[in-house]
Amino acid sequence: MLDSCRLCPRNCGVNRNNNELGYCGAGNQMVIGKYYLHKWEEPCISGNVGSGTIFFSYCNLRCIFCQNYEISSLHKGKIISVNDFKNICLELQTMGALNINLVTPTHYVPLIIEGLKQAKKEGLTIPIIYNTSSYENVETIKSLNGLIDVYLPDLKYYRNEYGIKYSNCCDYFKYASEAINEMYKQVGKCQFDNIGNIKRGVIVRHLMLPDNIDDSKEIIKCLYNKYKDDIYISIMNQYTPLRILKYDNLNRKVSDKEYNELIDYAYDLGVRNAYVQDGETQLESFIPNFDLH
């Protein structure tokens, strides 16, 4: 899969095993910025102990407002082997992690597949979460069938203009919707254990952006009309401007008025299986310090 890389819709076709680099800039080895027990994911993911989260460096989307830009665009991180990745998964399980949470994994899928297979052979039993921007080809998601228990995809934009402006990509909604549909086919309706921790299913995240409420409403409507209560929707208000951007609306936080209007819209539409954010979520303290541990 890395000899002619088409893991995402950019379809670069480069031979990453021959030191050719595509849009994401990643080579044929995994690079990670951090792994630890993350306690600030959705409650069903973090629980009381934490989610065994692995942040991968580089990214095939690279949104201009990315809150993890140190690793997505500046490529901060450490090279690890497939064997290292396997051992990290097992270490996180030993630490008591509720799950293994793979953050921005798309460009490393072939290596992740190999590592997960080895880890499972050596005793990895906790659920595997695939935490993604959703800008990937359906065949990439199909290759993960049977290895992933919970899909945690973003659905960022409905209108193509926003994908072009903010992420330099065309047809984001088309590709992301197709990918999410394949995820749902694989894992089905959400399933939880007896204390509310997710074991299987799809939670779609939508990060609301300032002045984009109409686009956010289209996202919520499309998800609910297609999946009803079989998935959960995580409606997020935590957008935090970390540097000055060329679009004025991205230089401020989402207002309470905007966010409450979106939540009211979702409720009136019929959405009940949802996570919403309350309180001070728009803080830099919610953004990890990428120091590997």
pLDDT in tens, 86-142: 999 999 999 999 999 999 999 999 999 999 999 999 999 999 999 999 999 999 999
Cα torsion 226, 231, 237, 242 to 10°: value is -100
Angle (CA) 139-89-34 rounded to 5° is 90
Total domains in the chain come to 1
Burial label for 131, CB within 10 Å (0-12, 13-18, 19+), is buried
Per-residue pLDDT tens for 219-259?
Answer: 999 999 999 999 999 999 999 998 888 999 999 999 999 99
| Of the listed ranges 2-11, 72-81, 241-250, 254-263, the one predicted with least confidence | 241-250
- Establish if 18 belongs to a structural domain: no
- Establish if 22 belongs to a structural domain: no
Candidates 34, 35, 150; CA nearest to 94 is 35
Burial label for 92, CB within 10 Å (0-12, 13-18, 19+), is buried
Tokens 């597949």: give the residue: 113
Angle at which helices 213-227 and 172-187 cross, to 10°? 30
The Cα 103–Cα 96 span in angstroms is: 19
Contact 266, 235 (CB under 8 A): yes
- Establish if 6 belongs to a structural domain: no
CA distances from 6 to 12, 24, 95, 108, 233 (A): 6, 11, 35, 12, 28
Per-residue pLDDT tens for 176-221?
Answer: 999 999 999 999 999 999 999 999 999 999 999 999 999 999 999 9
Q: Is the pLDDT of residue 285 over 50?
A: no
pTM of the model: 0.95
Higher pLDDT, 276 or 281: 276
Identify the band that residue 278 occupies on the pLDDT scale cut at 50, 70 and 90: confident
Tokens 């953004």: give the residue: 287
Q: Which residues pair with 91 in a beta bridge?
A: none
The Cα 161–Cα 11 span in angstroms is: 20
- Establish if 225 belongs to a structural domain: yes
Q: Which domain holds residue 106?
A: 31-286
Positive or negative, the Cα torsion across 158, 159, 165, 168?
A: positive
- Establish if 69 belongs to a structural domain: yes
CATH assignment of the domain containing 198: 3.20.20.70
- Establish if 13 belongs to a structural domain: no
What proportion of the chain, given as a percentage, has pLDDT over 70?
95
User: What's the DSSP call for residue 253?
Assistant: P
Question: Please, how many CA atoms are within 13 Å of residue 2, restricted to the half-sphere of its CB?
Answer: 21
- Establish if 23 belongs to a structural domain: no
- Establish if 10 belongs to a structural domain: no
Contact 58, 79 (CB under 8 A): no
Contact 166, 65 (CB under 8 A): yes
Contact 128, 119 (CB under 8 A): no
Angle (CA) 31-201-33 rounded to 5° is 15
Burial label for 70, CB within 10 Å (0-12, 13-18, 19+), is buried
